[in-house]
Amino acid sequence: MAEERVSDQDQFNCPVCLDLLKDPVTTNCGHSFCMVCINDYWDRDDQRGIYSCPQCRETFTPRPVLRRNCMLAEVVEKLKKTELQAASPVHCYAGPGDVECDFCTGRKHKAIKSCLVCLASFCEAHIIPHYDVPGLKKHKMVKASSRLQENICAQHEKLTEIFCRTDQSFICYLCTMDEHKGHDTVSAAEERTKKQTELQEEQRKQQRRIQEKEKKVQELKQAVDTLKCSAQAAVKDSERIFTELIRSIEKKRCKVRELIRAQEKTELSRAKGLLDQLEQEIAALKRRDSELEHLSHTEDHINFLQSFPSICVSSGSVDSYSISVHQYPSFDGVKKSLSDLKERIETFCKEELRKISTHGKRSIIQHFQTT
């Protein structure tokens, strides 16, 4: 509940003094400030005649007429009262690490605010005068702090409410007339406003960077999804192409086998014809050899001499074939041709795969670099 109250209160803090709004007014751009804070801020711009919002820097000409925002004032007052009534008595007493109220006697209550003018901290009960007494309402109130002395000038014992830009240090108004005389000095509130603007600009830059990085992440995720889809499509295409290529090679293999078998059949048929003819000639020669053998054993000289001319005289037949076994067609040429074809295909495939690999890597790198 305490965190919720702090969150609610932060929504009604003046961007200039960073405290709860006092006599809140709203500019034309919609931002709200304490009437004193915004008037002090615009008093410095009177010579230029151009007035800007301390928060969004929107400019106005002429100087806007400011009127008290009654509705916002009522909300702030209710918030103050709610904050005072929210804490239960059991939890009002200061514990270890809490800031004690400087005005409590006996057991100290927990302080909820510290006053930079009074240099004191106040509990819920003792802070009420700072909300009701007109003179005290102008005091600078901050979150309860035990380090109030850090806001006091060690040399002059005055509130360090001025920032020296020359030395980058906090000083009191007496320091501006002493060792910081002639330096570039502004009120701490004005410097805070300036730094707040710079901080907001830096925040905007960081948010833009975050958005750019997030956009980059989305683009990269989309690129990854696209890459996956493209790779899947390429795998399907490669499977289809290789299947067709294998089918084509299978057809060529069958064709070569058929050609070899056809040539084998032709040569076998030719060889069979030659074998048949040779066997016939051998049979004829054997018959003639048998006749000659029979004639050589004939004892009748007259019969021998009469039969000799018809048996011994050559019939005039000659060998029709003189081909040797080594003269038959060989398939070594087919084997060599197929081996050469295999080597050429492997070489071609290696070269094409190298191109595919190089192109794929280059495409992936370019794809991600362009995203």
pLDDT for 326-354, tens place per residue?
555 677 788 888 888 888 888 888 888 88
153 within a domain of the structure (yes/no): yes
Q: 202 near 196, Cβ under 8 Å?
A: no
Q: Based on the structure, what is the number of domains in the chain?
A: 1
**Does 346 reside within a domain?**
no
pLDDT at position 341 is 85
Does residue 316 sit within a domain? no
What gap in Å lies between CA 200 and CA 272, rounded to an integer?
105
Residue 25 confidence (pLDDT): 92
**pLDDT above 60 for 319:** no
Mean pLDDT over 110-127 rounds to: 88
Residue 44 has pLDDT above 80, yes or no: no
Identify whether 32 is part of a domain: yes
How sure is the predictor about 7, in pLDDT bands with cuts at 50, 70 and 90? very low
Q: For residue 96, what pLDDT band results from cuts at 50, 70 and 90?
A: confident
Q: Inform me whether the pLDDT recorded for 47 exceeds 90.
A: no
Q: What is the pLDDT of residue 359?
A: 67
**Residue 370, pLDDT above cutoff 60:** no
Tally the C-alpha atoms within 13 A of residue 66's C-alpha that lie toward its C-beta. Answer: 24
Tell me: pLDDT of 297 over 80.
Answer: yes
**Residue 370 domain-assigned?**
no
Task: CATH number of the domain at 77, please.
Answer: 3.30.40.10
Plot region of 97 (φ>0 → left; ψ -120 to 50 → alpha; else → beta): left
Q: What is residue 185's predicted lDDT score, i.e. its pLDDT?
A: 92
Instruction: Detail the DSSP E strand segments found in 133-267.
Output: 141-143, 162-164, 169-171, 185-187
Span 189-203, average pLDDT: 90
Indicate whether 91 pLDDT > 90.
Answer: no
Question: What confidence score (pLDDT) does residue 244 get?
Answer: 93
Q: Using one digit for the tens of pLDDT, what is the confidence trace for 137-180?
A: 888 888 888 888 788 888 887 888 899 999 999 998 899 998 99
The DSSP code sequence of 88-126 is: -GGGTB--TTPPBPTT--SSPBBP-EEETTTTEEE-TTT
pLDDT above 50 (res 129) = yes
- Residue 310 in any domain: the answer is no
In a domain, 128, yes or no: yes
Q: Which helix (H) or strand (E) holds 150?
A: none
240 pLDDT tier (thresholds 50, 70, 90):
very high
CB contact set of 68 (below 8 Å; sequence gap of 6+):
23, 24, 25, 35
**Which residues are CB-contacts of 61 (< 8 A; sequence separation ≥ 6)?**
49, 50, 51
Residue 351 lies in a domain: no
Residue 113 phi, psi dihedral angles, 5° rounding: -145, 155
Residue-averaged pLDDT of the chain: 82
Residue 187 domain boundaries? 2-194
Distance CA(36)–CA(56), nearest Å, equals 19
Query: What pLDDT is recorded for position 51?
Result: 86
pLDDT score recorded for residue 149: 79
